[in-house]
Amino acid sequence: MTGQEVLDGTFRNGALIGAALGRFTVATARRLWVWSVIGVRFVRRVIRILVGSGEGLGLTTGRLRMAAIAFGIVYIAIVGRLVHYAVAPGAETAAEVAETAAAISRPDIVDRNGMVLATDVKVASLYAEPKNIIDVDEAVDLLRQALPELDEKELQAKLSTKRGFVWIKREISPRQQVAIFRLGIPGVGFVTENKRVYPNGPAVSHILGFADVDNKGIAGIEKYLDTSGKTAEAAAAAAKGGRLPPVRLSLDLKVQHAMRDELVAGMTKFKAIAASAAIADVRTGEIISLVSLPDYDPNTPSDALKPEAINRVNVGVFEMGSTFKALTLAMGLDSGKVNLMSRFDARAPLRHGRFLIHDFHPTRRILNVPEIFVHSSNIGTARIALALGIDAHKAFLKKMGQLDRLKTELPESSRPIYPSKWGELNTITIAFGHGIAIAPIQSVMAVSALVNGGYLVKPTFLHRTVEEAMAEAPRVIQAKTSVEMRYLMRLNAEKGSAKKADIPGYRVGGKTGTAEKVVNGRYSKTKNLTAFTGVFPMDDPKYMLLVVLDEPKSLPETHGFSTSGWNAVPIGGHMVERVAPLLGVTPDYEAPSATELLGNIPVGAVVGE
């Protein structure tokens, strides 16, 4: 037998290997046959050349046979590699995917009372092994009968590959699984996966965030669980047949539902384009409720991609308007250069260069500090800031956490916006809340410090005790200043712009704010952002309430006004009325007045006294 005949027999046998292997598809065998034929023809030509030239070179038959065998080995290696690519799975196999899916387990998330907010359920996902599909066209037709929503061209392309594993559809229903199983399609199977579900739908969406189809946290607390290692702990516990204890949040689900209900009603009534609200425990920093509208259903994660569905409390940055005056007055009182009896000239607009600072409701007289707060005087507030100076103003806001990004367990946060070159005019406008934009959650933290005795407690979305909070909370104002700020905020609810939030028995106090929105680099005269920062009960502060409306509209009952006192404040009042009983705040109809809250601290005459 010549070397050429040996190789002919070898390649003929090799070409039949693909068809003989049970794991091969028909298409695979055809491809290997074609490659074998091409290879045989190629080597035959090489042999002819060698044989023809061998006669001239005196090559022996043994040497030709050796050369033929060498070429045969090389080609067999090539064919073997093709066989490997044809029969080997792609990047993964069904068994590997099933093992990975079973390992991805997330801990349950519950509210402060143990109510389930997020949990895992077992679902079936449909996959295929294209290398084991006998008839692709038939498989496509059958699968689309059970799942008509599948794209025919996309499915055809998936099943026509050489891969060992492809997903067909994730998270199918039990009824769909039974229907597909009965079809008996070779090369099609199911993997049991953990699917994240959110029983309360959109109610807690901006706190929880969501997990994707692979059960990985993408936003909110879900992402925090991954980055903090909680998900890995849950997976390790599941591998041992156990389960990690639920992650307990500071959130109260009952309060959350009530807050969202009132915010939806208020946003609808005043035709606002967006709205947000939050309640925090002023002593622990726990976020009891956070609502941002529009929201989304975390069970449909694609809705979270809508640009209007951001967490406006943590991520949005806004000029908070006159709510900032509380910080300016606290700065003045805490410095010792200003007291409650100090008086400032508000008889005429404050001039700075070519700019004039006006009051929205001018009194055109000299005002003491309580009157500046109750009348929300821009002029008086600016004069207090100027009395302390630019450096002191910046240092105080820095200390109060208003000039730095506030980071919580939620990965989403935004950096405040303020002038890089901070001059006297900036101090004037920032004093009353214009020229600086912050995330509303920063306002929650700062106002809580004004009434809790003077401690800056970082907000948290996890359950925390008072002792744990105080261990990390620096004192930022004196206790005496905190008492004075309680007085001013309660006085504003009794006599000032926060009267519509003064729910009998609950001793509410607060500060209103209306800021003109910046549109195309200019302040708009028709579009406002209104805010209300409230505290209750003021005789023993426990909870801080924030309400923000984006572009509320005036109504006949508001007499053409769209300012905070006409919309954000009454919404805040409705919220207090509903959630105070849920939070255990007992109504007291004989509670002390604002002046009585001061004790022995002297105060000058105020409006109505």
Q: Read off the pLDDT of residues 313-357 as tens digits, 9 standing for 90 and up.
A: 999 999 999 999 999 999 999 999 999 999 999 999 999 988 999
Kind plus residue range of the DSSP H or E element containing 350: strand 350-352
Beta bridge mates, 366: 345
User: For residue 92, what pLDDT is reported?
Assistant: 58
3-state secondary structure at position 449: helix
pLDDT above 90 as % of the chain: 70
Contact 434, 515 (CB under 8 A): yes
Find the range with the poorest average confidence among 237-246, 375-384, 400-409: 237-246
User: For residue 574, what pLDDT is reported?
Assistant: 98
Question: Given pLDDT bands bounded at 50, 70 and 90, which one contains residue 236?
Answer: confident
User: For residue 305, what pLDDT is reported?
Assistant: 86
Mean pLDDT of 362-384: 96
More confident residue, 546 or 9: 546
Mean pLDDT of 429-447: 97
Burial class, 588, CB count within 10 angstroms (exposed 0-12 / middle 13-18 / buried 19+): middle
User: For residue 603, what pLDDT is reported?
Assistant: 64
Mean pLDDT of 128-156: 92
Signed CA dihedral, 428, 434, 437, 443: sign only = positive
The mean pLDDT of the chain is 86
Question: Given pLDDT bands bounded at 50, 70 and 90, which one contains residue 99?
Answer: low
User: For residue 18, what pLDDT is reported?
Assistant: 33
Taking the C-alpha atoms of residue 548 and residue 437, their distance in angstroms, rounded to an integer, is 14
β-pair type (247-248, 109-110): parallel
Mean pLDDT of 422-427: 96
Q: Which of 125, 276, 292, 322 is an active site residue? A: 322
User: For residue 78, what pLDDT is reported?
Assistant: 62
Whole-number Cα distances in Å, 573 to 189, 509, 562, 592: 57, 10, 17, 19
Look at the block and give the residue holding tokens 């995330």: 439
| pLDDT digit string, tens, across residues 156-178 | 999 998 888 999 999 899 999 99
User: For residue 401, what pLDDT is reported?
Assistant: 97
User: For residue 89, what pLDDT is reported?
Assistant: 42
Look at the block and give the residue holding tokens 């005459």: 605
* Tokens of residue 181, six digits: 């199983």
User: For residue 237, what pLDDT is reported?
Assistant: 85
User: For residue 14, what pLDDT is reported?
Assistant: 37
User: For residue 453, what pLDDT is reported?
Assistant: 96
Question: Given pLDDT bands bounded at 50, 70 and 90, which one contains residue 567?
Answer: very high
Contact 404, 417 (CB under 8 A): no
Burial 64-98 (b: 16+ CB within 10 A, else e): bbebbeebbeebeeebeebbeebbebeeeebeebb
Contact 68, 7 (CB under 8 A): yes
User: For residue 57, what pLDDT is reported?
Assistant: 44
Mean pLDDT of 531-546: 97
Structure-derived torsion over alpha carbons of residues 201, 204, 208, 214, reported in degrees to the nearest 10? 10
Specify whether 322 is catalytic. Answer: yes
Burial class, 196, CB count within 10 angstroms (exposed 0-12 / middle 13-18 / buried 19+): buried
Mean pLDDT of 188-215: 93
β-pair type (522-536, 509-519): antiparallel
User: For residue 75, what pLDDT is reported?
Assistant: 60
Kind plus residue range of the DSSP H or E element containing 42: helix 26-57
Q: How many residues does the chain have?
A: 609
Find the range with the poorest average confidence among 187-196, 210-219, 239-248, 453-462: 239-248
Find the range with the poorest average confidence among 198-202, 241-245, 514-518: 241-245
Mean pLDDT of 143-162: 91
Contact 361, 484 (CB under 8 A): no
